[in-house]
A and B are shown apart, each in its own frame.
Chain A
Amino acid sequence: MGEELVLEARRVTKVYRAAAIETVALADVDLVVERGEFSALSGPSGSGKTTLLNLLGTLDTPTRGRVLVAGRDVTEMSDAQRSDLRLHELGFVFQSYNLVPVLTALENVEFVLLLQRAPRSERRARALRCLEELGLGELVEKRPNEMSGGQQQRVAVARAIASEPQIVLADEPTANLDSKTAEDLLDLMERLNRERGVTFLFSTHDPRVMARARRVIRLVDGRIASDERRSQ
């Protein structure tokens, strides 16, 4: 386990307000994720997993507390700065794959590199390399509606790692996949973690993911109930 901190949550609280009702989704959460981790946030529905993942992924801002990505405090950042941070430091994998439907697999992966202003030849080569590494060489010209769920999720992983982010945040990545496809996907992500040192943080209640994770952080009612590290 490395010692470089990739993500930090310092006494993070998130309160949602709807009309006169306040809902505390997270309460004074402290959490650090180090480089190279393969960790899972678990807990029952409504425990705050997704909220915490959103805050760590700078998709949302905390009501109180601070979030640091690669040592940079994002709490006071502008929307444009947070977008830039997501572009360069963070990768995302979503439950519903969420590929851009009008782009091919190759273009989906290339898109992030394009936003990073990588030269055309370089981004094409990198995108192709990622897809081939994930066994998707045959699908480069396919659009999402021409691929299975498992294939789409693998393309989503390729997209997430193509920009070589500090960490990949995966929200319920196996929820829509059958057992075999889910196991294959987890194998893939484990391999990327092991061989390329890609840091993963999952939000999940899938026991298969938790079984593979080397660290499981359990949330209950917006608080960290346990933080278990395993050696493999």
Chain B
Amino acid sequence: MGTLARIAWRNLLRGWRRSAVVLCSVSVGLFASLTLVAWAHGLLAQIVQTAVATRLSLLAVHAQGYQADPDVGRSLGDGGRALAVLLERFPGAQASPRALGDGLAQSARQSAHVTLVGVIPEAERRVSVVGDSLVAGDFPLPTPSGVSRALPGALLGSELAEQLRVGVGEKIVLHAPGESGLGAFRVSGLFHSASPDFDKSTVFLRLEDAQRLLGVGDRVHEIAVALDDARAQDRLAEFAKEQLPRARPGEALEILTWQEREPRLASLLDLMSSTAWVAYATVFAGMAFGIANALLMSVFERIREFGVLRSLGLQARQLIQLVLFESLILTVGGAALGVGLGVAVVEVLGHFGVSGDAFAGAGTLSVGPRVYPRLESGDWISPFALALVTAAIAAVWPAVKAARLRPAEAVRHI
């Protein structure tokens, strides 16, 4: 075994140019696919993170049927307070009740269709990214009592403000369906999140102002929940599904994770892992032909040598082992090089990030300003498994060719 491996190694060194070309093709292929997979992981993570931190949340509690038909009438009583308090008993959980509704924002110059989001600013800061995305002003403060001409505040997405051509301190009018759905507001602040779509269509109001505008009294439509450790999401969902119906037996609740609310986005994550395998398989399939070709050439060049080895008593299966060793050294060596390079480059890119500008305004799948490529453990382990399979497959034809040589003819081959 050791001598066969030594012969294989020295044979590869003897034809070092050809070996180097094959080794490089394997490593470049692996490097490229690994980097691509890391980029896709980072991109998708960023999309999910942006979506969860803006319009979605890790977990949302609604009145039954709200997800399918978000009518303002499908709401939760008690301002969602009892449910929010209960949810926050889960370790690391923060809950923010939201009153939601469609509306129209109008300035002196322009109007735009918007989503009205009534929140308790202190609670919302802990759940969404908006509090960290302020570029001017802040969430609206409570309207001072006794000041008859004071207008309630509204926090606008920067793109919406641009569209309406308003700034902080300027007045807008918000319309909502229903009898009480009209009110003047003063822009209290602007935010700029990673999602242009969100920034273009969202107006944050104080919860009581939104409830008044939407005509829903003390009711809310959603309790958005965030977690310190997102990995505990499934346990939180179990906790919520078990505890909340008990706490509010009279209310039919709908408790959904972000994956249940956005199954297409969630399926993208699942697709990612299979896409990685497809990428590797494609690269290795292409490489298998290259390796087989190089090995076959090498076999043809060494027919006499193989004849000598066979005449000395080397078994056909040992000759197959020899060719397999050569294939293994090339493929696994190339894979190690490619993966090593790929991991190093991804590590650097993952640290500094890559501009996500190319994806700005990509509709609902918004990406942050920077994408951070990253690899998961299986991403670099699986290429080695595939490398072994490829080495074996690529070596089959040349190895069988070598093993089938007739020693009497091979030994006199010129």
Contacts and interface: CB of A to CB of B under 8 A. Distances in A.
Nearest to A160: B312
A35 interface: no
Choose among B6, B14, B313 the residue with the greatest number of A CB atoms under 10 Å from its CB: B313
A18 to B, nearest CB: 12
Nearest to B407: A59
B312 A57 contact: no
A182 B317 CA distance: 37
Contact of B3 (A79, A84, A96, A111): A111
23 contacts: A54-B408, A59-B310, A59-B407, A60-B406, A60-B407, A79-B316, A83-B314, A84-B315, A86-B311, A86-B312, A98-B304, A98-B305, A98-B307, A98-B411, A100-B305, A100-B309, A103-B6, A103-B7, A107-B3, A110-B3, A112-B312, A115-B312, A115-B314
A27 B119 CA distance: 104
A86 B309 CA distance: 11
A59 B7 CA distance: 23
Given A102-B10, A111-B3, A87 B313 contact: yes
Per DSSP, chain A at the interface is helix
Given A98-B411, A107-B3, A92 B314 contact: no
Nearest to B7: A102
Contact of A60 (B309, B312, B315, B408): B408
A100 B304 CA distance: 10
Contacts, number: 69
Interface string A45-61: 00000100010010110
B11 interface: yes
Nearest to B12: A102
Given A83-B310, A100-B309, A59 B316 contact: no
A101 interface: yes
Instruction: Enumerate the 6 nearest inter-chain pairs by beta-carbon distance, A residue then B residue, closest first.
Output: A87-B313, A102-B10, A60-B408, A59-B408, A54-B408, A98-B308
Given A59-B311, A116-B313, 12 more contacts: A59-B408, A60-B407, A83-B315, A83-B316, A92-B311, A98-B304, A102-B7, A102-B10, A102-B13, A103-B10, A110-B3, A159-B312
Given A59-B411, A60-B406, A100 B7 contact: yes
B411 A94 contact: yes
B9 to A, nearest CB: 9
Contacts of A57: 311
Contact of A84 (B11, B309, B313, B411): B313
A135 B62 CA distance: 95
A115 B10 contact: no
B414 to A, nearest CB: 9
Nearest to B309: A100
Contacts of A94: 308, 411
Contacts of A88: 313
B316 A86 contact: no
A114 interface: yes
Interface string B3-31: 10011001101100000000000000000
Interface of B: 3, 6-7, 10-11, 13-14, 304-305, 307-318, 406-408, 411-412
Contacts of A111: 3, 312
A20 B412 CA distance: 24
A107 B3 CA distance: 9
Nearest to A53: B408
Nearest to B3: A114
A189 B294 CA distance: 41
A21 interface: no
Q: Is the interface of B mostly helix, strand, loop or mixed?
A: helix
Interface residues of A, number: 29
Interface in A14-65: 50, 54, 57, 59-60
A80 interface: yes
Contacts of B315: 80, 83-84
A94 B304 CA distance: 11
A101 B311 contact: no
A92 B11 contact: no
A103 B312 CA distance: 14
A88 B313 CA distance: 8
A99 B307 CA distance: 11
Nearest to B308: A98
A83 B307 CA distance: 12
Nearest to B313: A87
Contacts of B310: 59, 83
A215 B13 CA distance: 46
Given A59-B408, A59-B411, A115-B313, A102 B308 contact: no
Contacts of B312: 86-87, 92, 111-112, 115, 159
A149 to B, nearest CB: 16
Given A54-B408, A94-B411, A102 B309 contact: no
Nearest to B312: A112
Interface in A126-161: 159
Interface string A62-102: 00000000000000000110011011100010101011111
Contacts of A116: 313
Contacts of B411: 59, 94, 98
Nearest to B317: A80
